[in-house]
Amino acid sequence: MTPRQRRWVFLAVAGAFLAFYLWGLVGLPGFGDYPGPYGDIVNAIAVAQTHATGVVSAVNFEYRGFDTLGEEFILFIAATGVATALRHLREEQDDPAVDAAKDRQAPATSDAIRMVTLAFTGPTLVVGWYLASHAQTSPSGGFQGGVVLATAFVLVYLAGQFLAFKRLSPIHFTDSVEAIAAGSFAAVGVAALGLGAAYLANVLPLGSSPGAVNSSGTIALISFFVGVEVAAAFVLIVGELLEQTLIIREGAR
Residues that bind other proteins (CB under 8 A): 22, 25-26, 30-32, 54, 56-57, 99-101, 104, 106-107, 109, 131, 139-141, 143-144, 147-148, 150-151, 154, 158, 160, 234, 237-238, 241-242, 244-247, 249, 252
User: Which CB atom, from 109 or from 202, has the smaller least distance to other proteins?
Assistant: 109
* 56 CB burial (10 A radius; 0-12, 13-18, 19+): middle
Please answer whether residues 253 and 160 qualify as being in contact, where contact means their C-beta atoms are separated by less than 8 angstroms. yes
Composition of the chain by helix, strand, coil, percent to 5: 65, 0, 35
User: Which CB atom, from 45 or from 247, has the smaller least distance to other proteins?
Assistant: 247
User: Which CB atom, from 65 or from 192, has the smaller least distance to other proteins?
Assistant: 65
User: Which CB atom, from 162 or from 192, has the smaller least distance to other proteins?
Assistant: 162
User: Which CB atom, from 25 or from 89, has the smaller least distance to other proteins?
Assistant: 25
Task: Report the distance separating Cα 242 and Cα 217, nearest Å.
Answer: 38
Nearest approach in angstroms of CB 64 to other proteins is: 14
Nearest approach in angstroms of CB 197 to other proteins is: 27
Nearest approach in angstroms of CB 175 to other proteins is: 18
Nearest approach in angstroms of CB 121 to other proteins is: 15
Task: Mark 57-77 as b/e (b = at least 16 C-beta within 10 Å).
Answer: bbbbbbbebeebbeebeebbe
Residue closest to 200 by CA, chosen among 67, 55, 76, 74: 67
Size (the chain), residues: 253
Nearest approach in angstroms of CB 208 to other proteins is: 25
Nearest approach in angstroms of CB 232 to other proteins is: 14
Residues 6 or more apart in contact with residue 249 via CB below 8 angstroms: 106, 108, 109, 160
Residue closest to 62 by CA, chosen among 192, 183, 180, 181: 192
User: Which CB atom, from 121 or from 144, has the smaller least distance to other proteins?
Assistant: 144
